[in-house]
Amino acid sequence: MIVRSRLAGSLLIASSFLIFGCKEESNNPKLNPYPVSEPDTSTPLMPASPGTIKARVNGFEKSTLANSTDAQTTSIVRMEISGVTDKGEMISIVLPTINKPGVYDSIAVGRYMVYSGDNPNDLVWTASSAKLTVTKFDMVERKISGTFSFQATPAPNSNSTGMKVLTEGTFTDVHIR
């Protein structure tokens, strides 16, 4: 009987601790390496490091991996500058093939994707126009640099919801294939 009441008491204490002692999210980095927080938009983003794309997505800083970022001429009339973050998020700007620096606001489009593993319905947001300024276009070194921003809405046939606002976007010395 004593063992049973000690066991019941221990279970009561343990379940009370679990119910009342744990918060759903923690901002303590030792308990949660990805704390929930508000985006820090008080300081501007530093430019992207060579070969990367950097932007704020709904206020949160994102940066692509250098080995996953490039500018590819996919046909005679189209170029895509894209990169993937370490969390599987892709930032992409598509524009007609260009041959010099300039402002390409009316002809560039944007796309933001979140890869979801084996799920064929990745989360996709698209923008029918993007603000794009190419500051460097060097076919000798095969590098392109510039700035961008766009507001993307859920793509048709995607499970995505809400809007993705990309601001302070930069791409620096991205390799042109």
pLDDT digits (tens, 9 = 90+) for 100-142: 999 998 888 898 998 866 666 679 999 998 999 999 999 899 8
The structure tokens 């985006």 sit at: 39
Give the residue from 88, 48, 52 showing the smallest Cα distance to 67. Answer: 52
Highest mean pLDDT among 23-32, 116-125, 157-166: 157-166
pLDDT digits (tens, 9 = 90+) for 46-75: 656 678 899 999 999 999 987 777 788 766
Give the residue from 74, 147, 165, 69 showing the smallest Cα distance to 105. Answer: 147
Q: What is the pTM of this model?
A: 0.70
Q: What is the pLDDT of residue 97?
A: 78
Give the residue from 174, 152, 155, 177 showing the smallest Cα distance to 64. Answer: 174
Alpha carbons 118 and 134: distance in angstroms, whole number: 35
Per the CB < 8 A criterion, the answer to whether 176 and 51 are in contact is: no
